């Protein structure tokens, strides 16, 4: 009987305290949820009106932009926003009910439908180039939009009035809920305190002694004496079991300690060996993949070229041959040095591939002096510039021209006061759209090659400048700052990119 007395008393008193606290919590939660639900409805209505207003403004703005400029982007925006406006209007009331706000919502829903019909008619008339029709439809849609805004304002006023009234009721009810909750929590707290005071001395003293013995065992003091309590309840039984366990742990610990030390040493060695084996396997796999991938690519292209020759597809064979050579050249390290003749050959392969794509749409001209061919240059300088010229400079042109020349010129280095010196000059010019002065300054200043201009005032670097900035960096790094890139361009008059390299390694 005594062994169950502590548990029975704890359960009974805990159940009483939990019951009171549960009643307080459930009452507070239920009352708060009821109040919040009514407030949520009002806020959701206001949010719905605000969303409807934003969709209307966006639809009207995109419609005006399309009718003004007939832009495809504006048409896409109009379609997107008009769909959102239609979806938002579907949540409005469309039935006849004895409520002012619901009746106004019904009128608002039909006005939105009418506005969307007028707006759609103006877009259709604009596409059909019927000026009078789309003007009339647009004006009608503008009047409809004003009526929609007027009704939204009326409905929001009603919602605001309802919100203020609901807030007053909510405030009075919350005061009552808070007061009731305070009384319940106070009663539960006082009862809990009385119960704890009554049983604290009976329950905590033997537990305190047991906790001290447990901390001592945790510190390794297995000989710590644990006085057994006089009572025969659950705490006394636990103290006896702990004392027996303490003796068993003391006897087993010494044996386990020696075994654990040996196993720890063996496990650390095993983990080290497994880690080394794993790294060796990864390295072997990476090396194998590095060998297989390029060989597989080149062998596949060679097989395709041979097959094309057998089938007498000369153009296909030439294409695969040029592509294989271009890929082989570009896959090597871009930080290597090559001859200008190699760079010219790579650019010509790339031009050959471009002609397959664009046909006679663009003209390409390559000029290189014999004296510059054996000069060393960083790899992959010309190809990115040719790609920029075609993809960005000439992309909106029906036809155009790209010119590449390489020669040795006498140039005065920037900031130098002496005479001109011979430099190797590689240049790519195009007759494309060109770039603004701000874009040029942005590209050059971000790489640190422009002085006297503040780069923080310029907009984001255009996409065409990414490859050019990479070329500028590699020229500076490969030449130790002795080489540079000059950029000349005007809007609508083409672009010229000139790479100036110090002479070295010529034969």
Split at pLDDT 50, 70, 90, the class of 229 is: low
CATH architecture of 362-502: 2-Layer Sandwich (3.30)
| pLDDT over 80 (residue 454) | no
Q: Is the pLDDT of residue 451 over 70?
A: no
Confidence of residue 160 (pLDDT cuts 50, 70, 90): confident
The residue with greater pLDDT, 65 or 208, is 65
The encoded tokens of residue 325 equal 């050579």
Asked whether residue 367 carries a pLDDT value surpassing 90, the answer given is yes
Q: Whole-angstrom Cα distance, residue 92 to residue 97?
A: 13
Q: How many CB atoms lie within 10 A of CB 188?
A: 20
Supply the pLDDT for residue 407: 95
Coil, helix or strand at residue 506 = coil
Q: Two tokens at 219?
A: 């510190």
Q: Are strands 362-368 and 400-411 parallel, antiparallel or unpaired?
A: parallel
Tell me the percentage of the chain whose pLDDT exceeds 70.
68
Which helix (H) or strand (E) covers residue 408, if one does?
Answer: strand 400-411
3 or 376: which carries more pLDDT confidence? 376
- Give the pLDDT confidence of 335-357 residue by residue, as tens digits: 678 899 999 998 998 898 888 88
Confidence check: pLDDT of 496 > 70? yes
Q: How confident is the model at residue 425 (pLDDT cuts 50, 70, 90)?
A: very high
Report the chain's mean pLDDT, rounded to a whole number.
76
Q: What pLDDT band is residue 212 in, cutting at 50, 70 and 90?
A: confident
CATH annotation of 21-182? 1.20.120.1730
Sign of the dihedral through C-alpha 357, 359, 365, 368: positive
Closest CA to 359 of 392, 396, 317, 390: 390
Contact of 398 with 416, CB cutoff 8 Å: no
Distances (CA, A) of 285 to 113, 272, 297, 299: 65, 20, 18, 21
Report the pLDDT averaged over residues 417-433. 90
Provide the pLDDT confidence category of residue 430 given band limits of 50, 70 and 90.
Answer: very high
pLDDT above 90: residue 405: yes
Q: What is the residue extent of each domain of the chain?
A: 21-182, 362-502
pLDDT reading at 406 higher than 80 = yes
Evaluate the CA torsion angle 122, 125, 129, 135 in order and state its sign.
negative
């Amino acid at each position: 009987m005594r062994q169950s007395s502590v548990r029975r008393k704890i359960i009974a008193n805990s159940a009483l305290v939990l019951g009171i606290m549960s009643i307080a919590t459930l009452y507070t939660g239920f009352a708060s949820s009821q109040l919040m639900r009514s407030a949520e409805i009002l806020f959701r209505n206001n949010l719905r009106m605000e969303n409807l207003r934003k969709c209307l403004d966006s639809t009207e703005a995109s419609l005006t932009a399309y009718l003004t400029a007939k832009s495809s982007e504006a048409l896409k925006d109009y379609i997107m926003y008009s769909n959102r406006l239609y979806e938002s209007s579907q949540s409005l009331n469309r039935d006849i009910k004895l409520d002012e706000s619901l009746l106004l919502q019904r009128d608002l829903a039909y006005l939105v439908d009418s506005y969307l019909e007028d707006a759609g008619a103006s877009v259709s008339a604009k596409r059909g180039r019927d000026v009078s029709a789309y003007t009339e439809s647009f004006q009608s849609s503008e009047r409809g939009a004003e009526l929609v805004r007027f009704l939204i304002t009326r409905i929001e006023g009603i919602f605001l009035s309802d919100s203020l009234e609901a807030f007053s009721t909510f405030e009075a009810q919350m005061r009552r809920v808070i007061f009731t909750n305070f009384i319940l929590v106070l009663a539960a707290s006082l009862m809990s305190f009385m119960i704890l005071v009554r049983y604290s001395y009976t329950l905590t003293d033997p537990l305190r002694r047991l906790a001290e013995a447990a901390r001592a065992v945790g510190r390794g003091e297995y000989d710590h004496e644990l006085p057994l309590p006089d009572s025969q309840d659950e705490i006394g039984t636990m103290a006896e079991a702990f004392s027996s366990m303490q003796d068993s742990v003391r006897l087993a610990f010494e044996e386990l300690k020696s075994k654990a030390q040996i196993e720890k040493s063996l496990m650390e060695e095993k983990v080290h060996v497994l880690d080394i084996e794993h790294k060796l396997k990864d390295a072997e796999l990476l090396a194998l993949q590095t060998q297989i991938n390029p060989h597989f690519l080149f062998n596949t292209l060679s097989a395709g070229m041979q097959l094309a020759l057998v089938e007498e597809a000369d153009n296909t064979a030439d294409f695969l041959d040029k592509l294989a050579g271009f890929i082989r050249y570009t896959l090597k390290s871009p930080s290597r040095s090559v001859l200008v003749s190699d760079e010219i050959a790579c650019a010509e392969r790339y031009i050959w591939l471009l002609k397959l794509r664009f046909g006679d749409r663009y003209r390409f001209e390559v000029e290189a002096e014999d004296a510059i061919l054996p000069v060393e240059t960083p790899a992959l300088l010309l190809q990115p510039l040719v790609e920029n010229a075609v993809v960005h400079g000439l992309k909106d042109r029906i036809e155009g021209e790209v010119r590449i020349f390489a020669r040795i010129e006498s140039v005065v280095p920037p900031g130098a006061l002496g005479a001109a010196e011979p430099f190797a000059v590689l240049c790519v010019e195009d007759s494309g759209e060109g770039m603004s002065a701000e874009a040029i300054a942005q590209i050059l200043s971000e790489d640190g090659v422009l002085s006297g201009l503040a780069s923080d005032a310029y907009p984001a670097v255009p996409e065409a400048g990414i490859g050019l900035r990479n070329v500028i960096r590699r020229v500076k790094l490969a030449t130790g700052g002795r080489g540079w890139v000059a950029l000349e361009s005007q809007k609508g008059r083409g672009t010229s990119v000139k790479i100036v390299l110090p002479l070295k390694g010529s034969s």
